[in-house]
Amino acid sequence: MRVLVLGRTGYLGRHVVAHLRGLPDTQLPEAGRSTAGAGAGLRIDLATDSPDRLAKTLAEAAPDAVINCAGATAGDAVTLAEVNTRGPAVLCAALRQAAPRARLVHLGSAAEYGPGEQGTKVTETAATRPLGPYGATKLAGTAVVTASGLDAVVLRVGNPVGPGAPSTGLPGRVAALLRETGAAEPEAGTGAVLRLGDLSAYRDFVDARDVARAAVLAALAAGPLPPVLNIGGGEAVRVRDLVHLLARRAGFGGRIEEAAGATGATGGSARSAAVSWQCSDITAAGEALDWRPSYPLEESLAALWADAGAEGGRTP
């Protein structure tokens, strides 16, 4: 089976590729926004390619399934729209021309739901009320995919955590700060201070390796799938608890100070700062894919910290 992974060098894309490489009888055509030279791979840029150009490239790749991990989490509204909305639209148009029978798995975001109701888990049929350009552009991408007429499924992913987490997200950013603080304070004594923003929000964290497994299961599943499936940990975790768990894993013995809006402070993601509660109901993914998260949060944070120490951090 030929599976084309778009966004393969990004955080989730790398995990998807690693999971696929462990499967027998699976071919992975190489494709990306840049190639090293002739024969190095297929050039695909969803933000700029025309549908006709992309269709020619897809015809050459001849995929049985496409997993679209390409997306932008930061930038202005134009950048976000180019990648998160235009990209899926161009991809769907090109697939209809070049590979109309290919299964499309598109990674969406729980940010499409917007603010959740405290104490409740959101299902795939819940109203979508995204706050800000990120959630809005991701939701528009989902609408394009689900209305495309293709054999497609959108995985609405919670907050990814685990090895390789980039500094553009809270877990990776805190790991980087802890690493910097540890370098400045080798004993991580009581004099060290980690200054963060408001950590009172709740988020649904899911290991990136579990996201990758869900994407591969969706790509290989026989028969039609629901148009949207939630992929998360299925539990709401206070961001403050995650930070303290990671700090203990890092051996940090100093103080963690929270001051929303304070100069120099960093905290939750700016793209969802106004959302105090997020938690996904993952029942449907269990029924459709026989998928459930396998990594507890503590194990994900241990892998994140070990990876950060070994590699000195990664970029998305």
Q: What amino acid positions are annotated as catalytic residues?
A: 134
Q: Decide: 153 and 229 in contact? Cβ < 8 Å.
A: yes
Compute the distance between CA of residue 164 and CA of residue 246 in angstroms, rounded to an integer.
14
Torsion of CA 162, 166, 167, 172, to 10 degrees: 10
Q: What are phi and psi of 175, to 5 degrees?
A: -60, -40
The residue among 135, 93, 127, 131 whose CA lies nearest residue 110 is: 135
Compute the distance between CA of residue 45 and CA of residue 146 in angstroms, rounded to an integer.
21
What is the DSSP code (8-state) at residue 148?
A: S
* CA angle, residues 279, 282, 284, in degrees to nearest 5: 145
Tokens of 270: 């700016």
Q: Decide: 297 and 245 in contact? Cβ < 8 Å.
A: yes
Q: Which amino acid is at 176?
A: A
- Characterize 81-115 residue by residue with b for buried, 16 or more Cβ atoms within 10 angstroms of its Cβ, and e for exposed: bbbbbbbbbbbbbbbeebbeebbbbbbbbbbbbbe
DSSP secondary structure string for all residues of 237-273: EEHHHHHHHHHHHTT--SEEEE-TT-TT-B-S-GGGT
Q: Decide: 230 and 285 in contact? Cβ < 8 Å.
A: yes
The residue among 11, 15, 13, 67 whose CA lies nearest residue 209 is: 15
Element (H, E) at 228: strand 228-231
